[in-house]
Amino acid sequence: MRRRPWTLALAAAAVTVALAAPPANAAPPAPAPPPPPSVGVTEAARGFDPLLPSSDPVALREAYRPLAVTYTYEGQRHTLDDYLARTGTQGFVVLDRSDVVFERYVTTNRDTLFQSWSMAKSFTSAAVGIALGEGFIDSVDDPVTRYVPELAGSGYDGVSLRDLLRMSSGIQWTETNDVPFVHVAASLGYPLTELAKQRKRGWEPGTRFEYTSMNSFVLSWVVAKATGVPYHAYVQKKIWGPAGMAAKAYLGNDSNGNNMGYCCYYATDRDFARFGLLYLNGGRANGRQVVPASWVTESTQPSATFNRGYGLQWWLGENGDFSANGLGGQLIWVSPRYGVVIVKSTLATVLAGEETDAAFAAIAAEVARTRTARLASAH
């Protein structure tokens, strides 16, 4: 069983009012989710940075085939159609390696830009791994203040990058309360950098798991400071282009130009699938090593004895599968065992995460079974 931040969905949907500039210690309610760029946000709009498509996009071959998926959860038998309907899924893509074998959109289409929410954390992890491989970061065991001296004297002082990556920073934080405050404050012009500096130490870093979105923002700040370019520019140059993303996307910032890092990539489901495929292929895309293979391995393995279900900004499941998870049930799910990537975009999923695990495992097994059957019939 893996712990997921599903409860954040309740906080993020709680209130839709705008707030005045918040006092430092206030906890305002959450904003409504911002509209995706496909329904009204332009690249000139404050709060978004564009990510341009690759000049060499990774080809996804359309090879649709029937998938007779059934699974059992809590004694009840379900089908794939049933799962998609009950979860309010708006976009769903299944890759058999680089083949699109199943794809469905409801009230959306292939060009729709879906909000990533916390799936962004796994992109931030990739950016850290690339910066480490390029020598901009010497070690993930370095203190964060080596790269962001502005955090000296804050709760982050003395905390290692590793403890940020594995969600063990020790700062005082309650995800369902503090993320709404941060998100609203950032949207109203209060810099995320200042909010990070205000964090206080609550417990000894490296001793337990506490899901903390501010850790992921600080990691994106580290990337920007260490590389000398804004986070979104580094993502463009080192991930979005080299990984072969095919469509224009957007990355949220705090209206002061600080990219959030913990959320808010707006991209197509096929490009989210390309990111999953990048990790399925050990960090390679179109014959080039985009993310160091060693980082792909390290970040998708248990990162601490106190939590075997979390790597370095990736959630871990059974049989070696791993996933980037976002608010309300957004998922990039990768199964090295079966060679399958699944992407799900939805307004909100209220089913238990364990049922999604069962459904996705059944889908992956069926993809592998039908692959084998087709190869056998071809010979």
Q: pLDDT digits over 360-378, tens only?
A: 999 999 999 999 877 767 6
- What is d(CA 165, CA 61) in angstroms, rounded to the nearest whole number? 34
Give percent of the chain with pLDDT exceeding 90: 79
Our measurement of the distance from residue 345's CA atom to the centroid of its chain's CA atoms, rounded to an integer in Å, reads 12
pLDDT band at 18 (very low <50, low <70, confident <90, very high): very low
Give the C-alpha distances (Å, rounded to integers) separating 210 from 165, 169, 350: 11, 8, 22
Looking at 66-197, list the stretches that DSSP marks H as alpha helix, in order from N- to C-terminal side.
80-86, 120-133, 161-165, 175-187, 192-197
pLDDT at 16 over 60: no
- Render pLDDT for 48-82 as a digit per residue (tens, 0 to 9): 999 999 999 999 999 999 999 999 999 999 999 99
Give the start-to-end residue ranges of the domains of the chain.
49-377
pLDDT at 25 over 60: no
pLDDT band at 28 (very low <50, low <70, confident <90, very high): very low
pLDDT of residue 46: 55
pLDDT of residue 188: 87
pLDDT at 181 over 60: yes
pLDDT of residue 86: 87
Give the C-alpha distances (Å, rounded to integers) separating 229 from 79, 136, 235, 238: 47, 11, 10, 12
Q: Are 246 and 285 in contact (CB under 8 A)?
A: no
- What is d(CA 263, CA 283) in angstroms, rounded to the nearest whole number? 21
pLDDT band at 350 (very low <50, low <70, confident <90, very high): low
- Render pLDDT for 276-327 as a digit per residue (tens, 0 to 9): 999 999 999 999 999 999 999 999 999 999 999 999 999 999 899 999 999 9
Q: What is the pTM of this model?
A: 0.90
CA nearest neighbour of 347 among 12, 3, 1 = 12
- What is d(CA 44, CA 361) in angstroms, rounded to the nearest whole number? 41
At the top level of CATH, which class does the domain 49-377 belong to?
alpha beta
Average pLDDT score, the chain:
88
> For the ranges 34-38, 178-182, 271-275, which has the lowest average pLDDT?
34-38
Give every strand in the sheet of 61-62, ordered side by side: 61-62, 99-105, 89-96, 340-346, 330-335, 322-326, 315-316
